[in-house]
Amino acid sequence: MPDLLLELFSEEIPARMQAKAADDLRRMVTEKLVAEGLVYEGAKAFSTPRRLALTVHGIPARQPDLKTERKGPKIGAPDAAVQGFLKATGLSSLDEAKIQRDPKGDFYIALIEKSGRDAIDVLAEILPVIIRTFPWPKSMRWGARSGKPGSLSWVRPLHAITATFGLETEEPDVVKFSIDGIETGQTTYGHRFMAPAAISVRRFEDYEAKLKAAKVILDPQARKDIIFADAKELTFAQGFELVEDQALLDEVSGLVEWPVVMMGSFEQEYLAIPEEVIRATIRNNQKCFVVRDAKTGKLTNKFVLTANIEASDGGKTIVAGNERVIRPRLSDAKFFYETDLKTKLEDRLPKFEQIVFHEKLGTQAARIKRIGRLAAEIAPLVGADVAKATRAAHLAKADLLTEVVGEFPEVQGLMGKYYALAQGEDASIAAACEEHYKPQGPTDRVPTDPVSVAVALADKIDTLVGFWAIDEKPTGSKDPYALRRAALGVIRLIAENALRLSLMKVAASALAGLSAKPADAEKLPSDLLAFFADRLKVQLREQGARHDLVDAVFALGGQDDLLMIIRRVEALGKFLESDDGKNLLAGIKRASNILGIEEKKDKRSFDGSPDAALYGLDEEKALAKAIGEVKAEASAAVAKEDFAAAMSAMAKLRPPVDAFFEKVRVNDDDAKVRENRLKLLNEIRSATRAVADFSKIQD
């Protein structure tokens, strides 16, 4: 079966867009083919800075013929109906129609055969639509045609389209169409500098090979492999080690069609700059890799660059040029770093008075004060020294005003640590300058030093309470202040450090420190708590744990100790996996359902203790006794925070509950007995509330 080769040749496509564009092209073309009844065997898409390419092989040469039957009017129907039928089906007379016998009256049937079209014609129809509607994140117009409405938009000017279709053994046909003045053909071009001439291609196999001969490696993965292998080899040969960087590798492979890896160096003196700053300078500005000494693990004064050309002088000029660019960059970085060291962190703080954190939440200075106060309050709860936590909170944001962080925002926090150490701060305080931003996401490391923990919690809780107070909560996909991440950070800090603190109290205290006073201030902490419950559910779901149990625990009310909530959820989860747990849950649900129905019927609830004198059956008595015992035992265990023991106590309810439902008819004819039994059922529900609200648990 024939294959399709499609290439869209343009000016340089941004590196970060290439992979998705190739994938979109493959998806859009193959989905359309399938929708047109052309089921293909395989497809693969590629990208380079100057082209998107797609090969689809094993496409049927023609669409299958379609046969459909269409029911027409009854025999003897009025002429208008017959004419309508003939017109709709394309039959010239009723002689061409079949007659179908039917007890309710015979009627005409038209057999319509729609013969399939040639695949190449279908392609000529679908490809221009795909090109016109291609989902580039940003696209543009260009050239003379852009003066008229409806001109083509593409990521950068599109110059040529190669589109061929045919069998391996034959000369393929061009899929003919024209889009915005570009006619499809089978001509592409090689490397911009090394082989710019036109190349005539037939199908994917010769296309890929001819491009390679013209110094273009079509497959981005192959380019990555070359860069990675060459960079490793080049560094290894000199006793060094490449500092691997996948994101950089992805980007660099999208900047070259013919990767040529070379190594350059810079002056030793720049190694006095913190390694992260050297790396940020070289990586962000120059898209080069840094290199470490294999023995010491420290950075060396080398870097690895990837050129797009085999230069006629062997690359000497290119290496020298890159060195000339990197030198002043590092010189700037060194200057920034040394300048920063001259000013103490606390001396930078007054400037924060001028910097607005958020219009409604005041200045950065105000925020730093709030975080300090909150960190001091949290410190004793997490085992941190109050003075150290206060000092750390005081200094933690100061590096935002340093030159280095101004230049490289990604080293915020880290520079704070370096500068704090340089001015002789305590190690915990310095660590907190870096770690108070952590954890930044579900996989980021959670700090364990109590000082870091106190400041990290204070920072995040101040953020959450602040934005809650001015009603800037996350909605749907919008979370501009990363409040979900902050809440998850709080959860992870508490859970992974096994911290005990009342979120309601801390939130109320954070709220008291705000100058912005929301209208419903008293509702805020519990509102925020519900947000934490949601985040906890999301986190548990992502870990594959049961998240409905979070609701069962939160529904008890008054729960704001996250660690205890998590422990309770874990114990509950384990319990519900056991037979006792499953059956007890079924029993409790049954009791709840009956109660629900009867409460509705009687329009009343059945609170209050049952009357022991009205128990007529042994099962009633046994259940009442068990409830009393279990309630006491579970409550005692919960008070000791031994949730496993509380669950074991619950398990003891199962036999009497089962026995009760087996032997006892709740809706007794005697109204008093009935009421008493309903009260007993209500007791089951209330006893189990010692551990969780079982009615919130999904089956």
Partner 1 sequence: MDASLPAHMRPERSFQGFILALQTFWAEQGCVILQPYDMEMGAGTFHPATTLRALGPKPWNAAYVQPSRRPKDGRYGENPNRMQHYYQFQVIMKPSPPNLQELYLKSLAAIGIDSSVHDIRFVEDDWESPTLGAWGLGWECWCDGMEVSQFTYFQQVAGVECAPVAGELTYGLERLAMYVQGVDRVYDLNFNGRDGDAKVTYGDVFLQAEREYSKHNFEVADTTMLFEQFKMAETACKKYLDAGWKDGKREAHLMALPAYDQCIKASHVFNLLDARGVISVTERQSYILRVRELAKACGEAWIHTEAGGAA
Binding site residues, partner 1, CB under 8 A: 11-12, 14-16, 49, 138-148, 155-157, 159, 193, 255-256, 286-288, 305, 307-309, 311-313, 316-318, 320-322, 324-328, 354-356, 359
Q: Give CA–CA dist 533/484, Å, rounded.
A: 11
Yes or no: say if 242 and 232 are a contact pair by the CB < 8 Å rule.
Answer: yes
CB of 95 or CB of 313, closer to partner 1: 313
Environment class of 102 (CB within 10 Å of its CB; exposed 0-12, middle 13-18, buried 19+): exposed
Tokens 């999208």 -> residue: 254
Please name which of 285, 210, 288 lies closest in space to residue 249, comparing C-alpha atoms: 288
Q: Give CA–CA dist 91/264, Å, rounded.
A: 78
Please name which of 345, 348, 369, 352 lies closest in space to residue 424, comparing C-alpha atoms: 345
Sheet-wide strand order for 289-293: 240-242, 289-293, 299-307, 260-265
Yes or no: say if 120 and 174 are a contact pair by the CB < 8 Å rule.
Answer: no
Residue type, 577: E
Least separation, in Å, of the C-beta of 431 and partner 1?
30
- Side-chain-facing half-sphere of 27: CA atoms under 13 Å: 8
Least separation, in Å, of the C-beta of 263 and partner 1?
13
Q: Which residues of 218-254 are buried (b: 16+ CB within 10 A; e: fewer)?
A: bbbeebbebbbebbbebbeeeebbbbeeeebbebbbb
Least separation, in Å, of the C-beta of 460 and partner 1?
24
Least separation, in Å, of the C-beta of 325 and partner 1?
4
Yes or no: say if 46 and 222 are a contact pair by the CB < 8 Å rule.
Answer: no
Least separation, in Å, of the C-beta of 192 and partner 1?
8
CB of 76 or CB of 150, closer to partner 1: 150
**CA 646 to chain centroid:** 37
CB of 248 or CB of 499, closer to partner 1: 248
CB of 318 or CB of 653, closer to partner 1: 318
Least separation, in Å, of the C-beta of 312 and partner 1?
5
The tokens describing 633, both together, are 């035992």
CB of 322 or CB of 390, closer to partner 1: 322
CB of 260 or CB of 533, closer to partner 1: 260
Least separation, in Å, of the C-beta of 382 and partner 1?
34
CB of 318 or CB of 550, closer to partner 1: 318
Least separation, in Å, of the C-beta of 365 and partner 1?
13
Q: Give CA–CA dist 346/393, Å, rounded.
A: 11
Q: Give CA–CA dist 145/178, Å, rounded.
A: 14
Yes or no: say if 289 and 242 are a contact pair by the CB < 8 Å rule.
Answer: yes
CB of 309 or CB of 508, closer to partner 1: 309
Least separation, in Å, of the C-beta of 31 and partner 1?
28
CB of 223 or CB of 537, closer to partner 1: 223
Least separation, in Å, of the C-beta of 202 and partner 1?
26
DSSP code, position 257: S
Let me know the angle formed at the C-alpha of 48 by 47 and 53, rounded to the nearest 5 degrees: 40
CB of 320 or CB of 639, closer to partner 1: 320
Residue type, 367: R
Please name which of 219, 225, 227, 249 lies closest in space to residue 22, comparing C-alpha atoms: 219
Q: Give CA–CA dist 574/576, Å, rounded.
A: 5
Least separation, in Å, of the C-beta of 285 and partner 1?
8
Tokens 């889009």 -> residue: 179
Least separation, in Å, of the C-beta of 164 and partner 1?
24
Yes or no: say if 181 and 187 are a contact pair by the CB < 8 Å rule.
Answer: no
CB of 308 or CB of 676, closer to partner 1: 308
Least separation, in Å, of the C-beta of 551 and partner 1?
43
Please give the C-alpha separations between residue 494 and each of 56, 524, 551, in angstroms, as whole numbers. Answer: 52, 21, 19
Least separation, in Å, of the C-beta of 257 and partner 1?
11
Q: Give CA–CA dist 28/31, Å, rounded.
A: 5
CB of 227 or CB of 374, closer to partner 1: 227
CB of 403 or CB of 641, closer to partner 1: 403
Cis bond upstream, residue 328 (ω within 30): no
Q: Give CA–CA dist 334/330, Å, rounded.
A: 6
CB of 196 or CB of 628, closer to partner 1: 196
Torsion on CA atoms 687, 692, 698, 699, rounded to nearest 10: -50
Q: Give CA–CA dist 569/583, Å, rounded.
A: 18
Yes or no: say if 52 and 46 are a contact pair by the CB < 8 Å rule.
Answer: yes
Least separation, in Å, of the C-beta of 407 and partner 1?
13
Q: Give CA–CA dist 566/496, Å, rounded.
A: 11
The tokens describing 236, both together, are 């290894």
CB of 239 or CB of 314, closer to partner 1: 314
Query: 524 forms bridges with which residues in the sheet?
Result: none
Q: Give CA–CA dist 648/636, Å, rounded.
A: 12
Yes or no: say if 228 and 235 are a contact pair by the CB < 8 Å rule.
Answer: no
User: Which stretch of DSSP H or E encloses residue 478?
Assistant: none
Least separation, in Å, of the C-beta of 287 and partner 1?
8
Least separation, in Å, of the C-beta of 146 and partner 1?
4
CB of 251 or CB of 570, closer to partner 1: 251
Residues in Cβ contact with 13 at an 8 Å cutoff, skipping those fewer than 6 apart: 21, 47, 49, 50, 52, 155, 156, 254
Least separation, in Å, of the C-beta of 246 and partner 1?
19
CB of 162 or CB of 539, closer to partner 1: 162
